[in-house]
Amino acid sequence: MSEKKPDDLRRAQEFLTLVAENLEISPSVIEQNMPYLLGMTKHVAHDAVRPAAPLAAFLVGLAVGRAGEAAPDEVKARIAQVERAIEEYADGQA
């Protein structure tokens, strides 16, 4: 497993800002939502199943896009739905 470097989050934000610009999305979306999405993907990876983490983030993005609002409150609401799914999944696995 690779070791995390102190500037990984900064570099990730720089890269994701570039990706956002290339996808014609305001880079502020990254700044506003990155902590929430990283927390969610960590929770999915550790408490559900690791390979589902990036795809759960993709699904949150689709849901937010359908709502037409990328505000942090909308992202947090969708993440809360994923968190409930993690709990349901964990309960079913017990």
Nearest 5°: the CA angle 64, 65, 66 is: 90
Average pLDDT over residues 40-61: 96
Cβ atoms 40, 56 nearer than 8 A = yes
Angle 7-5-40 from CA coordinates, rounded to 5°: 80
pLDDT in tens, 5-36: 779 999 999 999 999 999 999 999 899 999 99
Q: What is the rounded average pLDDT for all residues in the chain?
A: 91
| Strand, coil or helix: 70 | coil
